[in-house]
Amino acid sequence: MSPAIQPLLASAATLAVAVGVWLLWRAWKRHPQPRGRLIAGGWALLLLAAVLLAPWAGGDRGVAIETLLAAVAATVFIVVSGRWASPKGKKARPIRATAMISGGADPAIGPATTPLRTVAAVLLALPVSLAASVGVGLVLAIWVPGSQADKLVTAAFGAPLVMAGAMVWTCADRRLLRTTAVLLAVTALCALAVVLRPH
């Protein structure tokens, strides 16, 4: 590939990622209005960016670079559009009252509101989420088909994603027993899958 084309490909891919994330952000802001075209266009541009980055950085590095660019662009859009304080003269209503009055979300879905529950959620999130993520990582390393390197890479990517999602869920859900039961069930199933691994 000509050295002069590489910067053009990188610039075009960066622009495609930015516009794609912007379209997905617009689709998120328009909910519940029709947004199928915005979602399709956003993902199409992200796919185009991966295709443009592949000849320049390679398939694996191209996907990694695109993921980083998408994360940065999404963070910028959220920070710029976010409202960080309640309007003057208005007090934010509790989640439970809002749900009862306007028919909103389940009052049980929301962050802990007392310091004790917050500490309990954080202390619970780390060990239980860690156990579930380690279990999923072992299952991926054992049961995923392919070479040993493919299994290790899949487990190395899968386990942190599971741990991040589990910790976010544990800290955001008021029903600590529910999250604990689900994560412990996942850990138990993963342990059973490890015991029944093929020899």
- Segment among 63-77, 94-108, 141-155, 157-171 with least mean pLDDT: 94-108
Q: Which residue has the higher pLDDT, 177 or 185?
A: 185
Question: By C-alpha distance, which of 31, 29, 67 is closest to 47?
Answer: 67
Residue with tokens 């054992």: 142
- State the pLDDT confidence band at 135, using cuts at 50, 70 and 90: very high
Size of the chain in residues: 199
pLDDT at 102 over 70: no
- 8-state DSSP, 31: T
Considering only 1-5, 99-103, 163-167, 180-184, which range has the smallest mean pLDDT? Answer: 99-103
pLDDT band per the 50, 70, 90 thresholds, residue 123: confident
Average pLDDT for 107-125? 65
Q: Which residue has 């589990």 as its token pair?
A: 166
- Asked if residue 140 has pLDDT above 80, the reply is yes
Confidence of residue 83 (pLDDT cuts 50, 70, 90): low
What is the mean predicted confidence (pLDDT) over 80-106?
A: 53
Whole-number Å distance between alpha carbons of 180 and 115: 19
H or E stretch at 34: none
Angle, CA of 40, 157 and 58, to the nearest 5° = 65
32, two tokens: 């519940």
Give the count of beta carbons closer than 10 Å to the beta carbon of residue 41: 17
Split at pLDDT 50, 70, 90, the class of 99 is very low
The pLDDT value recorded for residue 51 is 83
The residue assigned the tokens 């266009």 is 41
Tokens of 149: 């390197």
- Which residues lie below 8 Å from residue 64, measured CB to CB, with a gap of 6+? none
Beta carbons within 10 angstroms of residue 90's beta carbon = 7
CA dist list (Å): 97 to 18, 94, 107: 38, 5, 8
Q: Tell me: pLDDT of 189 over 90.
A: yes
CA distance 133 to 141: 12
Whole-angstrom distance, CA of residue 59 vs CA of residue 62: 5
**In the predicted structure, residue 151 carries a pLDDT above the cut 70:** yes
